[in-house]
Structure 1
Amino acid sequence: MGMVGCFCALEDEDLQAIISVPRRIHLLWSDSIPKRRQPSWLARLFGAKLRPEPEEDPWQLSQPVVDADVDKAWHGIHFLLTGTEGGGEGPLAFMIHGGEDIKEEIGYGYPRGFTSQEVKEIAAALSVIDVDQLYEQANPADFARHGIYPEVWKDEPKEDCIGYVTDYLKELQKFVSDIATSNRAMIVYLA
């Protein structure tokens, strides 16, 4: 399956509600928050205590979310935008850095939330990126040397491997621009 870069557009108040009660992030994809497992009878025999059931959370999203993903191109996009495999600062490093951690692990680590204002900054930074120029300048050997996921750079022609990354970058530019125009927040995570 692999690691997929995922994005979710939502309202600022919904993002803040999720940050304040991180388990609410599960409501983006299901009808209920998962319940904590109780210790088995054997665990209780050895001293584990029953936990009280969590209270029902009446919170609901104020508006439907809009999801997008960049498949496995997320790391290549980060590399194209920042020139680093895991570093970078500012709005163009949003694939890996920035925003506020949502302290509920999903997929591969904590998702990160960006306010609508931060999304506007990301959209502005992305809007001046010439994706075709990035494609021309990109060298698959650089991606391979830096260990950029999904590590297909030696096996595929440039139009396939780098083209895969830049095609998704174009889609991501549009998605971020659309949610910035709609004044929405964004959650970024790896699934």
Structure 2
Amino acid sequence: MSMIGNYLLVDEETINGIKSGKIDISEFLYDTEHSDDEYLDIDKSWHAIHYILCGQTWEGELPYYNAVLGGTEINDEDVGYGPARYLTPSEVKEVYEAIKDITKDEFKSKFDYKELAENDIYPKFDSNDDADYVWSYFAEVQEIFRKASLNGKYMLIYIN
């Protein structure tokens, strides 16, 4: 089984509906059509992105921590690998401001497949050539945070 990182832009009404139980989170995530403008799948790159941003396996400093593993659990329902988490529009904006200017060269310079392996970063990478794979998804993370920030959206983050 693969562990896939996901982002979904939503409005306050949806967040409140999920929190109150009026909206079933699993149905919303898996049985509702979401446009490419509001949904992003970052495949297996999520853990490497977190590590490169935070320099730690599971912890990290805000706002970088919120880019992948942060946020507030929306409820206790397991949606794949634990509960979904959400970021408020102000948290989304903080993350965007922190990550928007990270360049490809800067990001890739922090990618060391041996270091990732020593820290049990998922998945196992075979060479530093894998940096392009991780960068391509990080660039998409930058873009979805830009969209969410510009539109005042909440963001659901989950791993399935």
Q: Which ranges of structure 2 fall in alignment gaps of 5 or more residues? A: none
- Give the percent of matched residue pairs that are identical in Structure 1 and Structure 2: 29
Instruction: Tell me which moved more, 64-73 or 21-30.
Output: 21-30
1:167 aligned partner: 136
User: What letter matches 2:40 in structure 1?
Assistant: A
Report the CA distance between 1:23 and its aligned residue: 5.7
- Separation (CA, whole Å) in 2 of partners of 1:137 and 1:79: 9
Aligned residues of 1:12 and 1:185 also touching (Cα < 8 A): yes
- Separation (CA, whole Å) in 1 of partners of 2:109 and 2:61: 24
- TM-score, normalised relative to structure 2: 0.88
- Separation (CA, whole Å) in 1 of partners of 2:159 and 2:107: 24
Report the CA distance between 1:22 and its aligned residue: 7.5
- Separation (CA, whole Å) in 2 of partners of 1:143 and 1:13: 39
Aligned residues of 2:17 and 2:23 also touching (Cα < 8 A): no
Structure number having the greater helix percentage: 2
- TM-score, normalised relative to structure 1: 0.74
- 2:150 equivalent to 1:181: yes
Report the CA distance between 1:12 and its aligned residue: 1.6
- Separation (CA, whole Å) in 1 of partners of 2:142 and 2:114: 25
Taking the TM superposition and a 5 Å limit, the aligned residue runs for 1:84-99 are: 84-94=56-66, 95-99=68-72
- Separation (CA, whole Å) in 2 of partners of 1:22 and 1:146: 40
Taking the TM superposition and a 5 Å limit, the aligned residue runs for 1:83-162 are: 83-94=55-66, 95-152=68-125, 155=126, 157-159=127-129, 161-162=130-131
Larger Rg: 1
Deviation per CA, 1:103-156: give whole Å up to 9, x if none.
21111111101111211111111113223212023221111110100012xx3x
Taking a change above 3 Å as real, the CA distance of residues 69 and 22 of structure 1, as seen in their structure-2 partners, is farther
